[in-house]
Amino acid sequence: MNINNFINHMSLGTALEPQQIKVLCNEAKDQKFASVYVNEIYVNLASKELQGSSVKVGTVIGYPFGTSSTKVKIFEVKNAIENGASEISLILNLGMLKSGSVEYIKNELEEIKIAVEEHNLKVVLELEYLTLEEINMLINLCLDLNIDSIELLKRKISKEDILQIQELTKNKLNLNLVGNIKDLSTLEIYIDLGIKKFNTASGIKLSKENNDKFWS
């Protein structure tokens, strides 16, 4: 199995320098990863570094807490797309959601969906903070708006978590996983469970393990 097709090579650190983004992009090209995920400020740089390759550029809107206003998020989306991003991951304002402001969340999703246009929109579900009822509500909003994918974020996500999400989505949404998968066997388990992409900083390690397994 070519696991590199499943990997979004991610680096969203606080003190990243341009040279580190160039290294990230070169690694992604060499390994033929699906995409790189960088902070919005580095989308233009990544797009230039990856020009002519099959590797896509993604960024996270509202990073890290999702608490910027919808107008600011829309500006981020449009700026990222103008600079070459083709994949947009959206962090929602969980405080608004937890307080019962469902209409705010719905409006934000609708407006971001319009701003993204034909590009790939992914909604981040931070499972640590959400009740099952809230997860179900967000999934239904995504389904109603024909959003492409959801990204599952949890420190320790289980097989049961994924199966539960699949049941709620009725397998009509692509499921991605955010976080540093530490070993190949775990990655393969998640692939078998139907995860389509992995946003991870461990792509090089996982790819090497897979190659070593293949050639051993």
pLDDT digits (tens, 9 = 90+) for 144-187: 999 999 999 999 899 999 999 999 999 999 999 998 788 999 99
Residue 211: what pLDDT? 87
Instruction: Evaluate if residue 216 carries a pLDDT over 80.
Output: no
pLDDT bracket for residue 1 (50, 70, 90):
confident
pLDDT at res. 97: 95
DSSP for 5-71? GGEEEEE--TT--HHHHHHHHHHHHHHT-SEEEE-GGGHHHHHHHTTTSS-EEEEEETTTTS-S-HH
Return the SS3 of 92. Answer: coil
Q: Residue 132: what pLDDT? A: 96
Tell whether pTM > 0.75: yes
Which among 184, 174, 119 is positioned nearest to 151, based on CA atoms?
174
User: For 95, how many CA atoms within 13 A lie in the half-sphere containing its CB?
Assistant: 5
Both tokens of residue 170? Answer: 């009725």
- Give mean pLDDT, residues 196-213: 92
pLDDT at 215: 61
| pLDDT of amino acid 176 | 98
Q: What is the pLDDT of residues 24-64, one digit of tens each?
A: 999 999 999 999 999 999 999 999 999 999 999 999 999 99
User: What is the model's pLDDT at position 82?
Assistant: 98
Residue 214 has pLDDT above 70, yes or no: no
Q: What is the pLDDT of residue 181?
A: 86
Domains belonging to the chain, first-starting first, are 3-215 (3.20.20.70)
- Is 90 exceeded by the pLDDT of residue 192? yes
Positive or negative CA dihedral for 101, 147, 90, 163? positive
Element (H, E) at 132: helix 132-144
**Taking the CB of residue 206, how many other CB atoms lie within 10 A of it?**
24
Q: Looking at residue 38, what is its pLDDT?
A: 98
User: What digits encode the pLDDT tens for the residues 109-119?
Assistant: 999 999 999 99
Q: Read off the pLDDT of residues 68-102 as tens digits, 9 standing for 90 and up.
A: 999 999 999 999 999 999 999 999 999 999 999 99
